[in-house]
């Protein structure tokens, strides 16, 4: 009986300690070859968020602390649309 209670207590303790912390950000990384610009711009389509991300030797990385949704990623005269959600890890490779 003692072993059963001890085992259940240990199991309950392990389950209670293994809760995941919710993530409230997305990670955007990438590499763009033959790029003359030194930054890229990320704008949420509803205009509620805008961020300039520095590009060093064609490589960029940033943590985006914004609400999930559609975003426009602009590099010079080129742009594209992407969806970012909390917990997303997006890696872009372009030329």
Is the predicted pLDDT of residue 10 greater than 80, yes or no? no
Average pLDDT over residues 11-31: 76
Please list, in sequence order, all residues whose beta carbon lies within 8 angstroms of the beta carbon of residue 65, skipping any fewer than 6 positions away.
Answer: 24, 25
User: Under a CB-based contact definition with an 8 Å cutoff, are residues 82 and 42 in contact?
Assistant: no
Kindly report the pTM of this predicted structure: 0.73
For 43-82, the pLDDT digits (tens) are 999 999 999 999 999 999 999 998 899 999 998 888 899 9
Average pLDDT over residues 9-30: 73
């Amino acid at each position: 009986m003692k072993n059963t209670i001890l085992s259940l207590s240990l199991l309950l303790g392990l389950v209670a300690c293994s809760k995941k912390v919710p993530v409230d950000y997305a990670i955007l990384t990438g590499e763009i070859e033959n790029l003359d610009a030194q930054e890229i711009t990320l704008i949420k389509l509803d205009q509620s968020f805008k961020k300039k991300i520095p590009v060093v030797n064609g490589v960029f990385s940033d943590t985006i602390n914004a609400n999930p949704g559609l975003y426009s990623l602009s590099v010079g005269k080129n742009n594209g649309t992407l969806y970012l959600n909390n917990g997303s890890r997006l890696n872009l490779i372009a030329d």
